[in-house]
Structures are given as C-alpha cells and as structure tokens.
Amino acid sequence: MKITFFKILPIFLLMTGTSTLSYSSEPIPVDDTLTTKNISRNVDYIEDTGKKLTIDNIAGNKSLKWVQNTKRGINFGYSKSQFWLRFTVDNNTKKNQSWLLEADFPLIDLIELFVPDGRGHFRIRKTGYTLPFNSRDMKYINYIFKMNQKPGKITFFMRIDSLNSINFNLNMLSYDSFLDELNNYLPVYWLFFGLMIVMALYNLFIFASTREREHIYFASFVVLYALFEFNFKGFASQYLWPNATWWPSRANPFLVNLFILVIDLFIIKFIGLRERYPKFFWRLLPVIITLPVLFAVLSLFIDLQMSLFILYVSIIGDMVLLLAIAIYMGFFQRPPSRQARIAMFAFFIFVIMVPIVILTMLGMLPSNFFTRWALQLGASIAVVLLSIGIADKINFMKNIIQIAERKYRHLVESTNDIIFTLDENNLILTINGAVKNHLGYDTEEVIHTNFLDLIQESWSKNYNIAQLIALEYISDLKNNKKGSVQFRTTVKDKYSHEPKELSVSLEYTGDKDTGYAILGKASRIVDDALTQFLVTEQYEYDLNNYFSNADLMSQRLSRNLYRFATPSTISSVRVAIREAIINAIEHGNLGLTFEEKTKSQLDGTYFDLIKERQFDSLFKKKKVTIEYSLNEERAVYKISDEGAGFDYFTMMNFDPENNDDVILPHGRGLILIQHAFDIVKFNKKGNQIILVKHFKRTKKRHI
C-alpha cells in the first residue's frame, strides 16, 4: 500500500478521535418533526485502500471492523483510498417518510448511495463532481438524494471516491428545511459575488480613465478569485459548465495559480516596488510570472493531489514573500510606504484565513461554519482594504498632482519667458502673462490665434519668409513625432511697427492626454558673453537646400556682431544674410524662376513646390557655399550656389516706389540686402554674391 502525506496525517487524527466497533452506530430516527440534522456522528466507516470492496463484500459481513465517526463532520482530507459509510435510519411512524440526504461539500468526485430494495439487493444512486450536473436528484450545488422510506429501520451504505478533499457534513433534512437553507445561504453567496463584481467593474472603470495597470491587475485578481469561489462552491457546475466532468476538479488549481500571478503583479505595483527597488523588482518579476504560469499549466496534466500540494506550498510561500516585502516597505524603509502598510494588513487577514482553509481541507481542523467561510470572509476583508488602499493612493497622487500643478502654474506665471501650447493646427491654446511684457498683448487677445500669424518680417508685411521657415520647423517636428527645435524669429509687437526678435523653442509632446501637441517657449535674445573677447574669426560652410538651415546659418553668421554693431543693425544684417542664402537656394540650386515663384505664391503652392524641388534628384545634391570673415573693421560674406545664375542687374534696379513693382509678393530681398550692407557685389554669372559690412561708416556703393 502506498502511503502519502495527504493520507497518513488525517487518518492518524481520525484514529485518535474515534473508536473501533464491530457494531453499527445508533439508528437515526425520522418522523414528521424532522428539520435539519447532522448525522455524521451516527456514521460508521471503513477505508478501502485497494479499492477492491464491493457492496456484496460489505453488506452483512460481520467480520469487518467498522469505525464509528465521533466528529461533527466526515473529514478524511486528501486520500487515494475509497471510503465506505454505513448508517441506519429508523422510520418510527406508520407511514412513508420523505426526506433529503445531503453531502454539503461540492468538490467530491463520486458518491454512490446503496439503497436496499427489500429483496436482498441494492439500488445504486450516483452523484458527484465527475458526473454531469443534470444527473443529480436536486439541481443544487451540494449533493442531495431524495429519499422515500417505508416504516421501519433501513441501513444505507455509501461509497466515497475522490481525489479532492473528502470533507463534508452528512445531513438529513426535510423539504421545508431545504427551502429555508436556500433562503438563508444563497443571499449570502450572491452578496459575496456581487461585491466581487462591483469591485471588478469599479477598477475596470478607473483603469479606462487612468490607464494605471494596478487597476487592471486588481480587477483581474477579483475576477479570478470570484471565478474560483464560483467553482469551489459548486455554482460553476450548475451555471457555467454543467456537462463537464474533468474540468471542474482541474479548474481550482488552475485558477488559483493565475490568481497568484495577478495578485503578485498588483501588490508589487500597488506598493511601488519598481520605483523604490528597481534592481530587486527586475529580479523578482520573472519568478512571480514564470512559476504561477508553469504551475497553472502543470495542474492540467499532473496528478490532481500533487498539483494541489504544489498549490498549497506555492500559496504559503507567496504569502510569506509578499508579507515580508510589505512589512519592510511599510515600517523599515524611509520614508515608509502607506500602500505597503495597507497591503500588509489586507494580507495579514488573508494569511490567517488561508491556512485555516488548507488545514480544514487536509482534515486537520473540524469542518464548521467558520472554517468553511474563512476564505470568503478573509477575501472580502482583503478586497475592501485593498480597494480603500487604491482610493487612498488615488487621493494621495491627486494631492501630489495638485501641488505640482500649483508649483508649475507659479513657475509659468512668474517666469519672464513666454510659455505657450499649440494644438495640431498651430492654434495657441494657452499662454502665460509674459506675452504682455514682451509683445504688449493680453493673453485673451492671442488665445486661439494661429502662432504663425504672430510672426512678421521686419521689412515686409506681405512677403513673410519667416512664417515659411517657422512652418518648416513645425512640420519637421510633427513629422518626427518627437524631439524639439530652436530658432530665432521676429514677432509682432502690439505697440510698435517694428517686430521684436525672440528665440523660440518648440517641443512635440506626442501625448494626447496633455491636451496639446506642442509646448513652446519664446524668450529675448541673450548675447554671447564671450563676444567681447573676439578679435577675428573666419568660417566656410557647405549648406543644403532647407530654409530652416538658412535661418540657423544667418543666426550663426551674425551672433558675434554684438561687439561691433547696434542690435537693430545686427537684426538687419541677419535678415539680409538669410535672404541672400534663400535666394541662392530658390533661384540658384532649386532653379526656381521669378515667374514660377510669383505664380506659386499666388495660388498657394509655393511651399509644396519648394519641397518637391528639395527632393528632386536633379537639385537635392547641390550646395550653397558660404565663406565668412569678421574682424573689428568689417564683416565679409561670400555666398555661392551651383545654379545657372540670374539677371541681378534688373533686380538691383527694382523700384519699390513703382506701383507695378509693389504689387508683386516678392522681389524685395535684394533691396533689403542693399540697405543692410555697404558693399553688394555679384559675379558675372549671377550665382555668387559678396556682402561687406563696415563698422566704420563708409559711403555705400553697389557693383
């Protein structure tokens, strides 16, 4: 005979608490006064370790050593043996008595009731977990046989064969008492399952709003635990899988292992283990994921009792681990974690209740109302405490966010820089009060204004290349969906006809939850402190055909002029350099004619035309070469392109006072260049321009 841990301990306890008799226990009277009676102490039993005994071996065999059960319930724990029960019912009335025989534990694999037929034979009635639900006499979670007994004594035999725990009360009850039982117990069950459903839906709703994973973990934990209880109490066999015979027994260890997985994920997220101890978290995470999943899969294939033994060890080990982590983080780390303390108290309740249930299933504790409802009681308290903890964490985080928002609001409103946000259409959503100091506008005046509409050239209100450059920066930012850009631009001033030059920084968020697409900052230009030590410098650049780079290059080529010229002069020089580079790109490298540019600007396709030429293999490899030198007397810029050149003489004689010329939306760049520099000189081909700015005033001349 093979002796196992699951069998020897409960049998030892049963042997120490029972007496060995060769005669039957006292008959159980039944009459019209029957309500509900636990007859477990009126039962004799025999263990059949070899599963060889039959009803013919049992009935009338006086040589068998029957053991009287003296406990309140039938509790053999886990065993591979079969158990035969014997009890006698005495109908001491003169009429037939109808009553019900109940085994009140829904996880028994097979129960066979042998009823004498009065002719020396027995009728066999079967029920159990391994039979379809519809085969039961009473469609109920527990196993109930309908009995109709004639007057006199009848000895009944029952055979129990189950790999699950054999742990039940054997009850006799009337039909009215059964209805009372339904009315008393079912509301408690539905209240418990209703609480689980409410908690799961509540956390799913919060997850949909916040996308915080701890809520989906908690909802999964509640759903899996409720599903386990639904199966454990027999409701799943009635409502979910009434025809299943193999799965109901396997479902419990499978579901509990998945339950362990999600509760572990929830707890370490809830108490902030990853944030506090990232190295330990990443070492622990594979363990708490791999083991429950592995055990869940194994539970479907290995011996049921072995899978249950592994499950119990896993539960105890997991509770000890989580409780130790919660205690340490709640009381010993600095600062202590409020969530860890709440988790510790919740698990303390659960830790008390789970061993009670396990010991009851093993047959080491008596089966009674408390031991049977300990798991539900502990789970309900734990779920409520953890839900309170989640609500407390939400409030705590809300307070932190409110404090951060107040600090952010104070920071934004007190800074001298203009802070603003844009939507996907470049409309200003928010802007701080610094816009009043820099540009003279109240915040209400610029809200919902297109950011590009605030950008204005210093020399023309019609031809706004600065807007095109800013649009190119923003388009690249949106296309990349990340990163940031910085550029200088000139912005409208409410009380001055001259725009103000500002340094602009834009950052693409890519987060729809922020409510904006771009976060921006605009600030005044700060001179380079090292410029005062500059004596001379000289550079040469090869530039591609992007307007944004033309703008950056103009900033670089003018940044060190602050020692030698006034800010207004430097601004004019910078804009003129940018115009010269853009001319080299447009009319030189990209081969854009004056007429093509005029037409594209009039029909709104100018920017698309530029993009098309920039990617055209005929033009995209061409470069703009810039040679630059600076000393205390003058700045010299030589800008060359690889184009065919143009008729600069005609353009140099452009007359802004001529109405026919003024109607054109472009062509004023050379006039700006002429006004900004003392010497403006083209080569014969027209694809190179030399610009000279003297810091000692000389007469302007044009060649």
Angle at 181 (CA atoms; ends 180, 186), nearest 5 degrees: 115
User: pLDDT band for position 575 (50/70/90)?
Assistant: confident
Q: Which residue has the higher pLDDT, 327 or 661?
A: 327
Q: What angle do CA 608, 613, 616 make, to 5 degrees?
A: 130
With 60 as the cut, is the pLDDT of residue 475 above it?
A: yes
Predicted pLDDT of residue 377:
77
Among the residue ranges 297-306, 396-405, 578-587, the one predicted with the least confidence is 396-405
Pairing between strand 679-682 and 701-702? parallel
pLDDT at 293: 93
Query: Residues 200, 238: one domain?
Result: yes
Mean pLDDT, to the nearest integer, of 441-463? Answer: 78
If asked whether residues 549 and 663 sit together in one domain, one would say yes
Task: Give the chain's mean pLDDT.
Answer: 82
**pLDDT band, very low/low/confident/very high, at 438 (cuts 50, 70, 90):** confident
* Band of residue 23 on the pLDDT scale cut at 50, 70, 90: very low
Residue 477 belongs to a domain: yes
Nearest of 316, 254, 321, 259 to residue 287 by alpha carbon: 321
User: What domain range includes position 135?
Assistant: 5-173
Mean pLDDT of 570-583: 88
Helix (H) or strand (E) holding 183: helix 175-210
Is 408 part of any domain? no
Percent over 90 (pLDDT), the chain? 26
Task: Say if strands 496-508 and 518-524 run parallel, antiparallel, or are unpaired.
Answer: antiparallel
**Beta-carbon count within 10 A of 550 CB:** 27
Q: Give the separation between CA 228 and CA 252, rounded to whole angstroms.
A: 6
For 110-150, what is each residue's pLDDT tens digit? Answer: 999 999 988 889 999 999 989 999 999 999 999 999 999 99
Same domain? For 259 and 395 the reply is: yes
Q: At residue 366, does pLDDT exceed 90? A: no
Same domain, 132 and 41: yes
CATH number at residue 78: 2.60.40.2380
pTM of the shown model: 0.56
**What's the pLDDT at 151?**
94
Whether residue 304 has pLDDT greater than 70:
yes
Cα 207 to chain centroid, rounded: 8
- Asked if residue 304 is part of any domain, the answer here is yes
Using an 8 Å Cβ cutoff, are 324 and 347 in contact? no
Lowest mean pLDDT among 44-48, 89-93, 600-604, 628-632: 600-604
- Whether the per-residue pLDDT at 337 is higher than 70: the answer is yes
Q: Please tell me the least confidently modeled range out of 17-26, 174-183, 231-240.
A: 17-26
pLDDT at residue number 20: 34
Other CB atoms within 10 Å distance of the CB of residue 259: 22
Structure tokens given for 669 = 């760049």
Q: Are residues 24 and 132 in the same domain?
A: yes
Task: Specify whether 465 is located in the same domain as 575.
Answer: no
How far apart CA 639 and CA 689 sit, in angstroms, is 5
Choose among 95, 193, 179, 120: nearest CA to 144: 179
Beta strands across the sheet bearing 701-702: 537-543, 624-630, 634-640, 688-694, 679-682, 701-702
Alpha carbon distance 85, 555 (integer Å): 99
Last residue within a domain, chosen from 173, 191, 223: 173
In this prediction, residue 653 carries a pLDDT of 64
**Which of 3-7, 90-94, 349-353, 597-601 has the largest mean confidence?**
90-94
Q: What gap in Å lies between CA 502 and CA 492, rounded to an integer?
A: 10
Same domain, 113 and 256: no
pLDDT reported for residue 408: 66
Q: What single DSSP character describes residue 26? A: P
Digit-coded pLDDT (tens) for 598-624: 888 788 788 888 888 888 888 888 999
Any domain includes 409 = no
The predicted pLDDT at position 49 comes to 92
User: Are 461 and 559 in a shared domain?
Assistant: no
Asked whether residue 455 is domain-assigned, the answer is yes
Domain assignment of residue 407, yes or no: no
What's the pLDDT tens digit per position in 245-276?
888 889 989 998 998 899 889 888 888 888 88
CATH classification of the domain holding 550:
3.30.565.10
509 lies in the same domain as 561:
no
* Mean pLDDT for the stretch of residues 444-464: 76
Q: Half-sphere exposure (CA, 13 Å, Cβ side) for 668?
A: 20
Q: Decide: residue 62, CB within 10 A, 0-12 exposed, 13-18 middle, 19+ buried.
A: exposed
* Any domain includes 405: no
Give how many domains the chain has, as a whole number: 4
Q: State how far the Cα of 191 lies from the Cα of 371, in Å rounded to an integer.
A: 19
Tell me how long the chain is: 703
| 304 shares a domain with 421 | no
Instruction: Find out whether the peptide bond into 335 is cis, omega within 30 degrees of 0.
Output: yes
End of a domain among 354, 374, 400? 400
- Taking residues 76-88, report their average pLDDT: 92
- The answer on 385 and 247 residing in a single domain is yes
- In CATH, what number is assigned to the domain containing residue 485? 3.30.450.20
Confidence band for 153, pLDDT divided at 50, 70 and 90 = very high
Beta bridge partners of 339: none
Residue 47's nearest CA partner among 81, 13, 3 is 81
pLDDT, residue 675, reads 87
Q: Indicate whether 281 pLDDT > 50.
A: yes
Identity of residue 183: N
pLDDT-based confidence at residue 225 (cuts at 50, 70, 90):
confident
CA distance 284 to 409: 40
> What integer pLDDT is reported at residue 131 of this predicted model?
92
CATH number at residue 326: 1.20.1070
Assess if residue 406 is contained within a domain: no
Whether residues 282 and 235 fall in one domain: yes
Specify the DSSP class assigned to residue 605.
Answer: -
- Scored b (16 or more CB within 10 A) or e, 480-490 reads eeeeebebbbb
Q: Point out the domain boundary residue: 173, 198, 213.
A: 173
